[in-house]
Amino acid sequence: MTSILSDLDQLWYIRRGTVVRGPFTQEKITQFLLLGKIKIDDEFSLDHKRWQIATQLPELLSLIVFEQAEDALWQQHAVEKKDWGAQREALKNKPRQQPYEQAARDGMVELESLTPAEIEISVADNIERLHKGKQVSRPLVGFVVFSLLSVMIIMIYLKQPEPEIAAIDCTVAASPRVNWNNCQMEAALLSGKNLMGAAMQNMNLMRADLTNSQLSNADLSFSNLSASVLSGADLRQAVLVGVSLRGADLGGAIFDGADLSYADFRGARVSGASFRGVKLDKAKWVDGRLCAIASLGLCQ
């Protein structure tokens, strides 16, 4: 889908004989093809000068059109579309008061005017109609289903609002629930700070002073706390998965109920630290031992 979306801003002209139409977006051309409004031998151009047929422009249409649609299938598809076209002509002068399900079935509704739910109904109707045909091959059914679903996915993607990414300010003062994810705070002075519930993933806190700090329920996953001082710190229920505590001073720290899976304690000082109910799965202990899976409160 990325390759299709990357060229949606290009505008193409279509030439059939001496008649030139356009410009149209790539998305619109794909819809025209699915609705039978474009023939496989129609010519396309971006500048009115160089014209090429669709099979010479794999970047214009989804590659599935050329990889799975053999000439025989295209001829069969053309016959189907010709029949649908005749039905549309017969209905042109009729009042359009039928519900969208019937209108879509008769080819009277443009894809871009439908909601995603309505497109799904249209896809189901087309599949049902194809299965009722006497000479419809499975590859053709698969091609039509793939093409219609591709258009639906593209439309849904384009209609999605851009996600809002919260800006992270690493200069904001220490406080409960502060967001410091990915911040570089080597040798930070955070002694006695209240950082309960803080977001502190992937931080660099090497040689930081966190003496007597409040870090319960904080998330410090994959942060670097090597050579830091955490003596007397409260880290109950904190998440410290994959954290580096190499050479850190953890004397008297409380880790009760914390998750220290895959943490690295090599060379750390743990005298007086509390590890009640702490998960130590695959953690590297002070002496270099690898803690077994399900190690709880004690490296086994």
Q: What is the pLDDT along the chain (300 residues), one digit of tens a residue?
A: 333 334 445 788 888 888 888 787 776 776 676 666 777 678 888 887 888 887 677 666 543 344 344 444 555 555 555 566 666 666 665 555 444 444 444 444 444 444 555 545 555 555 555 555 545 456 655 666 666 666 666 666 555 554 444 568 999 999 999 999 999 999 999 999 999 999 999 999 999 999 999 999 999 999 999 999 999 999 999 999 999 999 999 999 999 999 999 999 999 999 999 999 999 999 999 999 999 999 999 999
Q: At a CB cut-off of 8 Å and minimum separation 6, what does 257 contact?
A: 236, 237, 276, 277, 278
- CATH number for the domain whose boundaries are 172-300: 2.160.20.80
**Sheet strand arrangement including 52-53:** 19-25, 11-16, 43-45, 52-53
As beta bridge partners, residue 284 has 264, 290
Closest to 191 in 3D by CA, of 214, 215, 172, 210: 210
At 248 the pLDDT is 96
Chain centroid to CA 215: 32
At 41 the pLDDT is 77
Q: Specify the length of the chain in residues.
A: 300
| Distance, CA of 272 to CA of 125 (rounded, Å) | 70
Closest to 195 in 3D by CA, of 233, 250, 245: 233
Closest to 286 in 3D by CA, of 258, 248, 254, 257: 248
At 19 the pLDDT is 84
Q: With a threshold of 0.75, does the pTM exceed it? A: no
B/e letters for 222-247, b = 16+ CB within 10 Å, e = fewer, are: ebbbbbbbbbbbbbbbbbbbbbbbbb
| Distance, CA of 150 to CA of 197 (rounded, Å) | 43
Chain centroid to CA 199: 23
Helix axes of 138-159 and 26-34: crossing angle, nearest 10 degrees: 150
DSSP 8-state class, residue 151: H
At 14 the pLDDT is 87
3-state SS, residue 131: helix
At 53 the pLDDT is 83
Identity at 92, one-letter amino acid code = K
> In which residue ranges of the chain is CATH 2.160.20.80 found?
172-300
Between the alpha carbon of residue 40 and those of residues 16, 182, 192, 288, the distances in Å are 11, 52, 72, 67
